[in-house]
């Protein structure tokens, strides 16, 4: 995405990385899809709105492997940082800002392939006559329907390994942050088996903060694609489909009720179709659906959703 | 529901009305269903919680006419009215209270039969040594997939007629309140074709307030069942099903993002399965689904969802 909004070199470099990341990820997904294609929707906020910005939404629907795969890139600029963003940096209050990120959710067709979410983003304050101050956030997390221990360990191991160069503390902190964030309080349930999540990150200098963001973004395909490869041809039927649709209802509940980006985005006039890229293509609800104790469905609740250390020896 | 929570005769009478209403409505629905039956789930809040209460959830799933029909009755008691409830009545601040209501959502299988929602409820403050002070709320609203003018007029005419004995102003006020409330701001769309909605109502004496509540509750079956009768055998196929599932996604979005009862109920530890009785059995999402101009699907947006006076001569 060429972009005339941005002046500082730091933010231009991040935008360029994000643009390339969206392309690499959608290329990798498209390679699994003999028929379906990504629709590319370039959008721009109408002139005159307070927040100016543009984005590129890429979405594949009705694929052979992915029933719905949305990858959004957005870049917005506003005249004044909101107070919530400058609580710890009062000298930046009211500064112009830019926010940019790539966000994706993939809903596979085969119930044995987990749903996945990944996001990398940067918020830059641009105080007049001074250099940009940038914070980073993001992460990735996995939501299986039928848990497979090997897949969960692989996903977490990859998250661990990409963060390792940035310090021993990063994976455990961001893993717990993810568990805390992706929790459905009204169900007393985790959304999935977690992964990593971080926000407002600026512990290193800009170059190293950005390097960590890149490590996470670049880690997504190696964390997820091998799981898709292993499970996509596993046979499934009505039973698995029914459980998948029911569990996707939880995904909807989390995103619309608890996810701050989604809930406040919709309430505050964000671009609805981009925000709701995360919605599953289909979902279902049933009253007090119970699972046969010991069944594969019941094991999701007993063996996979409860928080645990996936990398314990 | 026999109930030992309630002391005052006023609240006992309302509870008794609500209990009978739930039974009458579920009997009327069951009469359409040769196979499926309502599951009756009597629940009680565990002792020791701040809010004490019980309820009867009745739900029919997988019926021939109704794919999912949930009718909840609940009755809770708390030690102290929340501040939001006593803004206009400071003398009642901190008084014990009771809240009771019947709430229902029916999701029919046939896309030509509209989804419907109805709720009647009462909040009673019980100041020590004084008589109960009661407020009433509720209403009903219709959400068609394929609009039929005659059905919309019938629904609104019935709402109008049941309120007419309580003053000329009631239907127009409550109709507008309903349009204002059931609005998806993030879609710039009404949820459906409206109906009536009111809250904090105490304009008459207790007996007449309660009589108005009963008129609304009793008006539900005559407002809705004739529409079900007229449309339930209309032929439909994949096209209508697809549009119904997509539009049900809007119902989910409204309830989880905008409906105060649902959103805050889930956030504040309400009984999840009862709150989510309103969810459709299945729903779908698609990116920027557009309708053929002039098609029956497009006409929902152009001719039915926009606010209008359904009773204009």
CB within 8 Å of B66: residues ≥ 6 apart: B29, B32, B33, B36, B60, B106, B107, B108, B109
Percent of chain B's residues with pLDDT above 90: 81
Tell me phi and psi for residue A144, to 5 degrees: -80, 155
| pLDDT one-digit tens code per residue, A292-312 | 999 999 999 999 999 999 999
Q: Do B286 and A61 touch (CB under 8 A)?
A: yes
| Residue A150 or A82, more confident | A150
Residues of A involved in catalysis:
117
Q: What is the pLDDT of residue B5?
A: 47
Q: What is the pLDDT of residue B82?
A: 76
Residue A125 burial (CB < 10 Å; 0-12/13-18/19+)?
Answer: buried
Tell me phi and psi for residue B300, to 5 degrees: -55, -45
Tell me what the mean pLDDT of segment A66-70 comes to: 98
HSE on the CB side for A196, CA within 13 Å?
29
| Residue B105 or A129, more confident | B105
Q: Write the CA distances from A160 to A144, A168, A180, A197, B306, integer angstroms.
A: 19, 9, 17, 12, 52
Nearest alpha carbon to residue B284 among A116, A277, A284: A284
Mean pLDDT lowest for which of A173-187, A287-301, B19-33, B257-271? B257-271
Q: Do A282 and B280 touch (CB under 8 A)?
A: no
Tell me what the mean pLDDT of segment B285-298 comes to: 97
Matching residue, tokens 């930046």? A92
Tell me what the mean pLDDT of segment A29-43 comes to: 95
Q: How many CB atoms lie within 10 A of CB A129?
A: 4
Tell me phi and psi for residue B120, to 5 degrees: -135, 135
Q: Which one-letter DSSP state was computed for residue A165?
A: G
Q: Structure pTM?
A: 0.94
* Interface contact B41, partner A, CB < 8 A: yes
Q: Label the pairing between strands B189-190 and B115-125.
A: unpaired
| Residue A228 or B129, more confident | A228
Please tell me which residue of chain B has the smallest CA distance to A38. Answer: B287
Q: Do B267 and A185 touch (CB under 8 A)?
A: yes
What are the DSSP E strand ranges found in chain B?
39-44, 52-61, 66-78, 97-108, 115-125, 133-143, 183-184, 189-190, 194-201, 282-284
Tell me what the mean pLDDT of segment A227-244 comes to: 98
* Interface contact B279, partner A, CB < 8 A: yes
Q: Do B257 and A249 touch (CB under 8 A)?
A: no
Tell me what the mean pLDDT of segment A218-244 comes to: 98
Q: Do B267 and A276 touch (CB under 8 A)?
A: no
* Interface contact B272, partner A, CB < 8 A: yes
Tell me phi and psi for residue A84, to 5 degrees: -60, -25
* Model confidence at B7: pLDDT above 80: no
Q: What is the pLDDT confidence band of residue B1, given thresholds at 50, 70 and 90?
A: very low
Residues of B involved in catalysis:
117
Which of B104, B189, B256 has the highest number of chain A CBs within 10 A, making it the mutation to test binding with A?
B256
- A45 neighbors A37 (Cβ within 8 angstroms): no
Q: How many CB atoms lie within 10 A of CB A34?
A: 9
| Residue B11 or A245, more confident | A245
Cα radius of gyration (chain A): 19
Please tell me which residue of chain A has the smallest CA distance to B269. Answer: A186
Tell me what the mean pLDDT of segment A80-105 comes to: 85
Nearest alpha carbon to residue A28 among A60, A67, A55: A60
What is the rounded average pLDDT for all residues in chain A? Answer: 93
* Model confidence at A174: pLDDT above 80: yes
* Model confidence at B9: pLDDT above 90: no
Q: What is the pLDDT of residue A7?
A: 59
Tell me the helices (H) and strands (E) count for chain A, helix number first. Answer: 8, 10
- For residue B211, the distance in angstroms to the closest alpha carbon of chain A comes to 33
- A123 neighbors A199 (Cβ within 8 angstroms): no
* Interface contact A160, partner B, CB < 8 A: no
* Model confidence at A4: pLDDT above 60: no
Matching residue, tokens 């090997």? A150
Q: What is the pLDDT of residue B160?
A: 98
Q: Do A287 and B39 touch (CB under 8 A)?
A: yes
| pLDDT one-digit tens code per residue, A129-169 | 888 899 999 999 999 999 999 999 999 999 999 999 999 99
Q: What is the pLDDT of residue B167?
A: 98
């Amino acid at each position: 995405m060429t972009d005339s909004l941005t002046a500082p070199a730091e933010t231009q470099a991040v935008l360029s990385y994000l643009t390339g990341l969206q392309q690499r990820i959608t290329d990798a997904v498209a390679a699994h899809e003999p028929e379906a294609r990504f629709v590319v929707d370039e959008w721009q906020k109408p002139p005159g709105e307070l927040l100016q910005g543009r984005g590129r939404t890429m979405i594949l629907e009705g694929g052979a492997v992915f029933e719905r795969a949305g990858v959004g890139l957005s870049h917005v600029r506003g005249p004044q940082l909101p107070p919530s963003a400058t609580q710890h940096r009062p000298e930046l209050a009211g500064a112009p800002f830019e926010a940019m990120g790539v966000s994706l959710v993939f809903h596979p067709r085969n119930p044995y392939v987990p749903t996945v979410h990944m996001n990398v983003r940067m918020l830059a304050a641009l105080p007049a006559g001074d250099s940009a101050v940038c914070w980073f956030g993001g992460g990735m997390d996995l939501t299986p329907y039928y848990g497979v221990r090997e897949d969960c360990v692989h996903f977490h191991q990859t998250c661990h390994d990409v963060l390792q160069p940035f310090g021993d503390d990063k994976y455990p902190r961001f893993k717990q942050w993810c568990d805390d964030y992706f929790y459905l309080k009204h169900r007393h349930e985790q959304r999935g088996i977690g992964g990593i999540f971080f926000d407002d990150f600026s512990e290193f200098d800009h170059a190293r903060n950005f390097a960590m963001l890149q490590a996470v973004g670049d880690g997504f395909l190696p964390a997820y694609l091998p799981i898709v490869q292993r499970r996509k041809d596993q046979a499934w039927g009505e039973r698995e489909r029914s459980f998948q649709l029911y569990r996707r209802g939880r995904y909807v509940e989390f995103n619309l009720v608890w996810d701050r980006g989604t809930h406040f985005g919709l309430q505050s006039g964000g671009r609805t179709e981009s925000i709701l890229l995360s919605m599953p293509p289909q979902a279902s609800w049933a009253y007090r659906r119970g699972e046969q104790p010991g069944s594969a469905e019941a094991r999701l609740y007993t063996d996979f959703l409860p928080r645990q250390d996936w990398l314990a020896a």
